[in-house]
Amino acid sequence: MHNDEPILSGRKRVRRVAIVLSTGSYQREAPTTVLRLAEKLLERGIEVNVWAFEEAVTLTNQDQIEHNEPPSLRPVLGDSHAPVGRFIDQLLRAGLHGAKMDWVTCILCAQERGVEKHQMGGAIVGTLGDLWKFVGGADQVIAIPAYR
């Protein structure tokens, strides 16, 4: 990257962040953390590029359903809950009128899991080359390993 960015308190201003995420949801907190972080970055006008690979490619499966909870557990679980994909979709839309967020799913990982043709609108099926372009173009890179 060109080093002519404004300096803030001795540190380079961050304009673009790459996030590498490799965990799916429902048994992990990492996607929640990434989405919360992405929201705050977008609010501050920072461009966010998410590279989703391994289990993370299922986060943008368009066929996620807001299912009903088992009847006997509804008093404690509630009637239903929104799937993670809904929040990703809303963050992608939020980026339409401010700092943008790109969400790229690894084509190899998506094919392995049968979700390549089921990606939601806004998610881009990409290659490992996109990963390294995101990394190379970022002021900051945040990578969350698969075991988190």
Partner 1 sequence: MAHRILVIFEKPIMLSFEPSDPHLFATALGVADTPLEISLLLRDSAVTYAVSAQAPSARILGQEIAPSGTTPARLVTFMLEHGAVVRVVREDLEERGIPPSLLVTGVRVVGRSETADIFAENDGVILW
70 or 129: CB nearest partner 1:
70
105 or 131: CB nearest partner 1:
105
16 or 28: CB nearest partner 1:
28
Q: Give the H/E segment covering residue 11.
A: strand 11-12
CB of 4 to partner 1, least distance (A): 34
CB of 79 to partner 1, least distance (A): 8
CB of 31 to partner 1, least distance (A): 7
CB of 145 to partner 1, least distance (A): 16
CB of 7 to partner 1, least distance (A): 31
CA distance 14 to 41: 10
57 or 107: CB nearest partner 1:
57
Tell how many helices (H) and how many strands (E) occur in the chain: 5, 7
58-93: b (≥16 Cβ within 10 Å) or e: bbbbeebeeeeeeeeeeeeeeeeeebbbebbbebbe
Binding residues for partner 1, rule: CB under 8 A, are 25-29, 31-32, 35-36, 39, 69-70, 72-73, 75-79, 81-84, 87, 90-91, 94
Cβ neighbour number for residue 52 with a 10 Å cutoff: 29
38 or 106: CB nearest partner 1:
38
Residues 29 and 44: beta-carbon distance below 8 Å? no
